[in-house]
Structure 1
Amino acid sequence: MVGITGIGSGMDIDAMVSALVTAERAPKESQLATLEKATTTRITSIGSLKSAISTFQTALGELTEANKFQGRTATASKADYFSVKADTTAGVGSYDIQVKQLAAGSKVALAAVAPVNGEPATFGGGTLTVSIGAGDSFAVAIDSNNNTLAGVRDAINKAGAEKGVSATIINDEQGARLVLTSTKMGDGADISVATVADAAGATGNTALSTLDFSAPAKPTDPTITDPPAPTSPSAARMITRAQDAEISVDGFVVKSASNTVDSAIEGVTLDLKAATPEGEAANVAVSLDTAGVKGSIEKFVEAYNKLIGIINSETKVTPIGEGKTPVTGALVGDATARGLLSTIRNELVNVQGDGAIRALADLGITTQRDGTLKSDTAKLDKAVANNFSEIATLFAGENGLATRLDSKLKPYTETGGILEQRNKSMTETIDKIDKQREDLTRRITALQERLYKQFNAMDTLVGQLTNTSNSLLASLENLPWAAGNKD
């Protein structure tokens, strides 16, 4: 119906209907837009508040448990020889460490295999068993599919992967030979190879027993060279004997089948890298992790200030000039924000205990005019150095500040908590606004149609009346007594 102009009356019906519809729609649309903007802003503000609380809770998590204050740091005076770390069971102290030797795995070179009559060596069929010390071994079957040196290498690599054994081929003046390497360390974990021929298996030009190797016993006489020299240039030989790591801790000898030594000093793990020079030692110092605790306290202050900053900005009223409406935060007058702020501040000023550290102020942490915290680094350092155990009492444990604060904050951030319920309620408000807009659109459409019908009916009536009037006037003008009629 839009676009129809009053034919009978000459009135602009479109403009009249549009003006009436706009007058009806505008107030409600403005109301809904204002509510939507305010609600959306509050949703954003509540989201920022929840994020800041979560960050603060993460910082509190580093201070809630007493064992967080039992951390240890360990340092080595010579990091080239080993690295060190300590857990909470390590005793505070200093230790002199000498690394006599590193743990090593076995490495052997099997006998050289020369070509036969110009043809590459091939082996008879059978079984090849690789042993790593006395209690660990694996076997590979040798047949026509893998009876070359490369085939044996591949079979060992496939079967020995889980055992930590790998094979490669080296070519020297004597021919080609397999070199086997084991990652298993410790005394006695030497590689041996035993073969059993199978007469019904593959045929070859070289006996499978050529690959046999028996690890020689470790000599008891320290003057004897170990590993022993090969009996001939082409013979199998031990390149590296598997051995334990050996260290000295304050003069006491400790052995380990691994270069990671965690049994020498309680709570301390050494990762050995190289042997120390003869007669030299590296020092290991184990101390309380005061730097870690100080860092956790600084994170606490930083996260708290972020939270307070968001609360301040969202609840602040900012004047912008005389006679002008001030800028207000989205949570001005909000009971949730007020309650949260009050709860946190009450816990901060709660003094407990009777020692030297009873409140944050004893750590040099004080409240500023805007509600944020300020940390006196020098005073905090002194408190950490002199009253370390009392700091744990202040923050951790059932009645500690961090524990109490975390308990007070959980109702706000937990699933189904205060902030989630607030967000759900505001989201529902947005949904209702959309529904009201749809209802408004239907109502305005119906109004528009009704107005067009009424105006068009009026226009038709005016047209009819005009036509009747014109007809009467014409008839009257034709009457004998009409003025100017000469008939």
Structure 2
Amino acid sequence: MAGITGIGSGMNIDQMVGALVAAEKAPKEAQLNRLASATETKISALGTLRTALSSFQTALKGLNDIKLFENRSAKSSNTDLLTATASKTAQSGTYSVKVEQLATGSKTATAALSSDFKTTNAGTLTVNVGEGEGEDVNVEIGEGASLEQVKEALNAALKDSGVTANLLTDPYSGEARLVMSSTNTGEGKDVSISASEGLEELDIDTSVGSAQVLERAQNAKFSIDGLAMQSATNKIEKAIPDVTLNLVAADKDKAITVTVAQDQGGVTANIKKFVDAYNNLIKTTNSLTRVTKVGEEGTPLTGGLVGDSSVRSILSGIQNELVSAGGSDGVRMLSDLGITTQQDGTLGINDDKLKTALESNFDAVGKFFTGDSGLMKRLDSRVDGFNQTGGILAQRVSGLETTNADIKAQREKLTLRIESMTARLYSQFNAMDTMVAQLSSTSSWLESTLSSLPGVVKKTK
């Protein structure tokens, strides 16, 4: 910065300036570093706390939903044969179901044709799925069309109908047949083709006894509590009110038990999510407020929110609600559901007691958790003021970010002050160096001049 210094005086000006600047800079820089570190630690800790609180609030909202307690579940004892779902208006009950056969679509085929068959005339093929069941599909076929071209024309016209065309060729005889496959299930929904004049070889007749029907479309056949029933599809929606049965496979000798009941599984899952979220919050706050001793004389490791009043207020409010009585009809506290506080402050669940409470007091459990006076709403009101947008924790983070900005500004000021001080010291020391050099030069001149005067006796070495 100052070039070559100290020539006149012989002093190490760079070292001297550096030492003075360091002595001035070090205390303030150390103070700012400590403040910056503490500020960042608190911002990070508050962010961790807000994340845990957000997860906790999500679990509260999931359990504070009356629809959860209105839902009904339909369980099948053999999902390989049948699955079931129920709407919230379904009546509880148990049903014995047997599946004799599934509903299927048809497979039909043209008469055997030469593999090099070509149409002799242009015309129209009219495809129908079941007599009078649906709209006919007319497919235009050109003169001289091969079976492959006929297949492609049919598939293009039938792409949204659930019907596909394919070719099967006998490798021995070389004869080919156009096969029509349908996903439209139900008795009478066989795929037929009526051909215009000149295309009669492509007719498919589905009348009784026709050899052109490879597999007839059929209804599903099943029984509920011994009553025989049929359906055109494998999705049964009206046999049991507000319950949908989905037939998967048939086995007429196996009885399937379908149980329609309150959705205890869904409620249990949400209760466990609430407990897990609370336990995570407790573990998080313990970590953020913990003081860990390091060795006999080492500096203890402290969490980012040791002694923090917000943490104490949050936990105090939550824990007060957890032990407050509410609800009615045998469910007034969490302990009535088998949920109790463990030695480490977390919650534990007695699964058997929870199951018994749901089976015997399902509606009372719903009232305990949900509604404006339910536990979930009360807990959320204790937390929301801290964690909401613009809430206490957000304001604290904002204040800490302001502190960070102030630290940055102070660092910039310190840098400018140190630069100014450095320049001033170099100027002063260099001026001194120059003066010393001048004095040394004057001293040497005087000594030389005086020594040459008459009568001056020179010192001998």
TM-score above 0.5, yes or no = yes
Q: Which runs of 5+ in 2 are unaligned?
A: none
Q: Counterparts of 1:414 and 1:185 in 2: how far apart (Å)? A: 55
Alpha carbon RMSD of aligned pairs, Å?
Answer: 2.7
Q: Give the corresponding residue for 1:261.
A: 236
Q: 1:139 and 1:442, CA in 2 relative to 1: closer, same or farther beyond 3 A?
A: farther
Q: 1:485 and 1:329, CA in 2 relative to 1: closer, same or farther beyond 3 A?
A: closer
Deviations 1:204-253 (A, max 9, x none): xxx3222123432xxxxxxxxxx6242xxxxxx11222233232212334
Measure how far apart 1:259 and its partner are: 0.7
Q: 1:457 and 1:137, CA in 2 relative to 1: closer, same or farther beyond 3 A?
A: farther
Q: Counterparts of 1:35 and 1:97 in 2: how far apart (Å)? A: 72
Q: 1:479 and 1:215, CA in 2 relative to 1: closer, same or farther beyond 3 A?
A: same
Q: Counterparts of 2:400 and 2:139 in 1: how far apart (Å)? A: 70
Q: Give the corresponding residue for 1:15.
A: 15
Q: 1:429 and 1:258, CA in 2 relative to 1: closer, same or farther beyond 3 A?
A: farther
Give 3-state SS (helix, strand or coil) of 2:107's partner: strand
Q: Give the corresponding residue for 1:142.
A: 141
Measure how far apart 1:8 and its partner are: 0.7
Q: Counterparts of 2:85 and 2:52 in 1: how far apart (Å)? A: 34
Give 3-state SS (helix, strand or coil) of 2:151's partner: helix
Find out whether 1:132 has 2:113 as its counterpart. no
Q: Give the corresponding residue for 1:202.
A: none
Paired residue type of 2:200: S
Q: Give the corresponding residue for 2:356.
A: 382
Q: Give the corresponding residue for 2:202.
A: 211
Q: Give the corresponding residue for 1:339.
A: 313
Q: Counterparts of 1:481 and 1:267 in 2: how far apart (Å)? A: 137
Q: In 2, are the aligned partners of 1:4 and 1:14 still within 8 Å (CA)?
A: no
Q: Counterparts of 1:364 and 1:80 in 2: how far apart (Å)? A: 35
Q: In 1, are the aligned partners of 2:328 and 2:364 still within 8 Å (CA)?
A: no
Q: 1:448 and 1:364, CA in 2 relative to 1: closer, same or farther beyond 3 A?
A: same
Measure how far apart 1:485 and its partner are: 8.8
Deviations 1:10-58 (A, max 9, x none): 1100001111111122122112211221122122212211221222223
Q: Counterparts of 2:428 and 2:325 in 1: how far apart (Å)? A: 78
Q: Counterparts of 1:211 and 1:412 in 2: how far apart (Å)? A: 77
Find out whether 1:228 has 2:226 as its counterpart. no
Paired residue type of 1:34: R
What is the number of residues matched between the two proteins?
456
Measure how far apart 1:474 and its partner are: 1.8
Q: Give the corresponding residue for 1:65.
A: 65
Q: 1:28 and 1:103, CA in 2 relative to 1: closer, same or farther beyond 3 A?
A: same
Q: 1:69 and 1:114, CA in 2 relative to 1: closer, same or farther beyond 3 A?
A: same
Give 3-state SS (helix, strand or coil) of 2:113's partner: coil
Q: Counterparts of 1:101 and 1:484 in 2: how far apart (Å)? A: 138
Q: 1:148 and 1:416, CA in 2 relative to 1: closer, same or farther beyond 3 A?
A: farther
Q: Counterparts of 2:287 and 2:422 in 1: how far apart (Å)? A: 45
Structure 1 residue corresponding to 2:373, chosen from 399, 403, 416: 399
Q: In 2, are the aligned partners of 1:3 and 1:14 still within 8 Å (CA)?
A: no
Q: 1:95 and 1:368, CA in 2 relative to 1: closer, same or farther beyond 3 A?
A: closer
Q: Give the corresponding residue for 2:154.
A: 156
Q: In 2, are the aligned partners of 1:190 and 1:241 still within 8 Å (CA)?
A: yes
Give 3-state SS (helix, strand or coil) of 1:105's partner: coil
Deviations 1:356-390 (A, max 9, x none): 21111222323345432233444334333333322
Deviations 1:316-375 (A, max 9, x none): 334557766543321123333233222212221221144321111222323345432233
Give 3-state SS (helix, strand or coil) of 1:281's partner: strand
Q: Counterparts of 1:94 and 1:310 in 2: how far apart (Å)? A: 45
Give 3-state SS (helix, strand or coil) of 1:85's partner: strand
Q: In 2, are the aligned partners of 1:479 and 1:485 still within 8 Å (CA)?
A: no
Find out whether 1:276 has 2:251 as its counterpart. yes
Deviations 1:237-293 (A, max 9, x none): 112222332322123344333212122112322221233326x53322233333443
Correspondence list, 1:236-251, <5 A: 237-251=212-226
Measure how far apart 1:179 and its partner are: 0.3
Q: 1:418 and 1:253, CA in 2 relative to 1: closer, same or farther beyond 3 A?
A: farther
Q: 1:358 and 1:238, CA in 2 relative to 1: closer, same or farther beyond 3 A?
A: same
Q: Counterparts of 1:169 and 1:301 in 2: how far apart (Å)? A: 61
Q: 1:122 and 1:299, CA in 2 relative to 1: closer, same or farther beyond 3 A?
A: same
Measure how far apart 1:304 and its partner are: 0.5
Deviations 1:107-135 (A, max 9, x none): 211122226xxx54334222222222332
Q: Counterparts of 1:413 and 1:209 in 2: how far apart (Å)? A: 78
Q: Which runs of 5+ in 1 are unaligned?
A: 198-206, 217-226, 231-236
Q: Counterparts of 2:165 and 2:277 in 1: how far apart (Å)? A: 56
Q: 1:42 and 1:393, CA in 2 relative to 1: closer, same or farther beyond 3 A?
A: same
Q: Give the corresponding residue for 1:121.
A: 118
